[in-house]
Structures are given as structure tokens and as C-alpha cells.
Amino acid sequence: MAAQQQLLKAEKVSRVFGGLKAVSDVNLEINDGELVGLIGPNGAGKTTLFNLLTGVYEPSDGDITFSGTRVNGLKPYQITKRGAARTFQNIRLFGEMTVLENVMVAYNMHAQHNLFSSILRLPTHFKGEADMREKAIEFLKIFNLESKKDEIAKNLPYGEQRRLEIARALAAKPKLLLLDEPAAGMNPQETTDLMNLIRWIRDEFKITILLIEHDMGLVMGVCERIYVLDRGQMIASGTPEQIRTNPKVIEAYLGQEV
């Protein structure tokens, strides 16, 4: 069996806001094909770390390497083009656009544009648009959203909005998908469906997934490894079984074994 190749590495990464260290000397490594969780109390620095990994913030100290390239200082769209896509704790769809248009936006990132044909509206321009539309519809079928393709995104029920956000992220053809609290606001059945969807996405698309989540049933049920943040510091990492019995994690977050 071939050794797994490292995809993402954070080495002694810190972020300071007005003298406060929101993230302090964090180390994290994720290999190709892994499904990894990031947990911790509210205010632990989880979303700040996601923002550092995806270029929303630049580290005050330390290095972030993605696919063998140091990405400190790159803009979010530059990191996305290199193969890292994310969702947000608060869903960020293009609310006034249709479901189909939301996915086509992601496909558009990888389209081979020809400015001349676009300006003159040549046949090659329309063929490119038609190809993107066809690919986007096929993608919506995968997520059972094809029948909603012409609906305005903000009018979808919450669970379908979350699925659309994940579909849009995957349409960007990422190597790494970062999910920020994907189960937030979901009922137990929706959470179970989401857990199955996350497993299926990893296996079907052969990508790596890193997720922040408070639902411990989902985290323990789907993740192969888990990192734990508390007050901006990484206090533990390991398998779900190691994490659920770790005294530091129990004291800081779980309260009791789960």
C-alpha cells in the first residue's frame, strides 16, 4: 500500500488581533484522502484557523503549505484555484441567483475564456456556456437538486441550501474541501443524511475533507482523525476513540466521555 501524501500543513501558525492571540503556534497535517475533524469550545479559534488556511487571514507567524506550496499571503481565490474550497458556518450562497447559476459560477472558475469570442458573442462563447450549463445540471442531479435548478437560491429550505453550498464548493474541483459547521441548524435526520453525504463525497470525488463541527455524533461517526483546539491552542489530536477518552479534551470540551 502506497504511503499517503501530505496535502496540507500548518506549522507553528499564529494569528494576533489587537494583541490577542486568537490562534497560537498551531500545528496541523492532513494527507490526501483523509477525512479529518476540528473540534473545540466556542471561541477556541476554529473558524479563525479555517480563515488562515483559506487565505481570508494571513498568519502573524508560522507557515501554511498546500500541495507542496507555501500559501501565506495568497488571496482566497488564489488558494481556491490551487484546489481548496470551503463552505461557511453561515451559508453564503448568491441568494438572488438561481440554484443552477450558483453552481455555474463555480464551474466558470475553470473555464477557458476567450475575451475576443465573449465580446463578439461568437459560437465558441455560446458553446462554452452550454457546456458549463450541462455540467452544472449533471452536478445538481447528484445532490437531488435538479428539479430546483430554476428556483432562487434564498427560497430553498435550509437543508437544501446547505447541500447547494456543498455542491457549489465541489464544482470548483477541489483537492481539499473545508466544511465549517455543516450540520448547524439541521434536525437529527438531516444530520444523519449529511454524515452519509460527507462519506460519499470523499469516496466518490476522491478528495480530502476537513470539517469543523459541534455535533459529536457526526464527528465521531465520520472522521478518521480529529484535532482539538482550546483557547487558540491545539491540545490534542488522534482517532475518535483517542479523543473521546483524552482527559484534556474531556475537561476542556466534552465534559464527559462520548
What are the average pLDDT values for consecutive 10-residue runs of the chain, which has 258 residues? Answer: 80 94 96 95 92 95 95 92 86 86 75 49 57 82 89 90 87 91 86 89 92 91 95 95 92 65
**3-class SS at 162?**
helix
- Closest to 234 (Cα-Cα) out of 37, 40, 72, 63: 40
What angle do the packed helices 99-108 and 123-142 form, to 10 degrees? Answer: 120
Could you give the strand order of the β-sheet that contains 233-238, starting from the edge strand earlier in sequence? 84-86, 176-180, 208-212, 35-39, 225-230, 233-238
Q: What is the pLDDT of residue 115?
A: 47
Per-residue buried b or exposed e for 74-87, using 16+ beta carbons within 10 Å of the residue's own CB: beeeebbebbbbbb
Q: Where are the beta strands (DSSP E) in the chain?
A: 6-17, 20-31, 35-39, 61-66, 69-70, 84-86, 176-180, 208-212, 225-230, 233-238
Asked if 72 contacts 58 with a C-beta cutoff of 8 angstroms, the reply is yes
Asked if 90 contacts 153 with a C-beta cutoff of 8 angstroms, the reply is no
Q: Where are the alpha helices (DSSP H) in 172-239?
A: 188-205, 216-222
The whole-angstrom separation of Cα 111 and Cα 130 is 12
Q: What is the pLDDT of residue 104?
A: 87
The whole-angstrom separation of Cα 103 and Cα 185 is 23
Going from the C-alpha of 37 to that of each of 82, 138, 180, 237, the distances in angstroms are: 22, 29, 10, 10
Asked if 61 contacts 151 with a C-beta cutoff of 8 angstroms, the reply is no
C-alpha 198: how far from its chain's center? 11
Domain 1-83+174-258 has CATH 3.50.50.60: no
Q: What is the pLDDT of residue 94?
A: 82
Strand-pair category, 6-17 with 61-66: antiparallel
Domain ranges of the chain: 1-83+174-258, 94-167
Strand-pair category, 233-238 with 225-230: antiparallel
